[in-house]
Amino acid sequence: MLLPSYALENSPLVLKVGCMTLIHGLGYLYLGTSFSTANVPDQFESFFRVVSANVYLDRFASDRSHMFAAPPVSAMLPIPTYLQPAPPYPPLRGAHCMSNHNLMDFVSMLPSGGYGDVFNIQTISGFFELKEELEPSEKP
């Protein structure tokens, strides 16, 4: 997750929430210490989808189906079995979301669809060097 933070050397602040602990830091530091471009085969090139916080909060939805060990198989077992215990809060759904589950619109690295903009390792470096606010595009 990238958050604009121009009080800190005019670099976006990165919050990495997909891990056990919250990691945060300046964008260029995160990029330089977390990703390598040396001897990386093309098929393993890193890509990044940047979505503005407002779009994410308004448009993201997850019915948690990606967390199921297996989908419900019959009326006898209508409740899915989760791989891990489900969070104690209701499934997420932004106020302007049109579906119950659009996770792939936020994690797909195909530039032709989804919300926000997709960058490769070279173009995300340019993003971190911007001195003025960049508002990633919203899906039409």
Q: Which pLDDT tens digit goes with each residue over 68-126?
A: 887 656 666 667 788 888 889 998 999 999 999 999 999 899 988 899 999 988 888 77
Tokens of 22: 């919250």
> Per-residue pLDDT for 25 more than 60?
no
- CA separation for the pair 17, 30 (Å, rounded): 13
When pLDDT is averaged across residues 52-71 and rounded to a whole number, the result is 86
The CA distance from 137 to 128, in Å, is 17
CA–CA distance from 91 to each of 3, 46, 62, 83 (Å)?
A: 24, 29, 6, 16
Query: Tokens 């797909």 appear where?
Result: 108
Cα 98 from Cα 90, distance rounded (Å)? 17
pLDDT attached to residue 135: 44
Query: Shortest CA distance to 106 belongs to which of 95, 94, 89?
Result: 94
This prediction's pTM: 0.67
Q: Are 115 and 59 in contact (CB under 8 A)?
A: yes
Radius of gyration of the chain (CA): 18
- Which pLDDT score, from 0 to 100, does residue 96 have? 96
What secondary structure does DSSP assign to 21-43, as a single string? S-EEEEHHHHHHHH---TT--GG
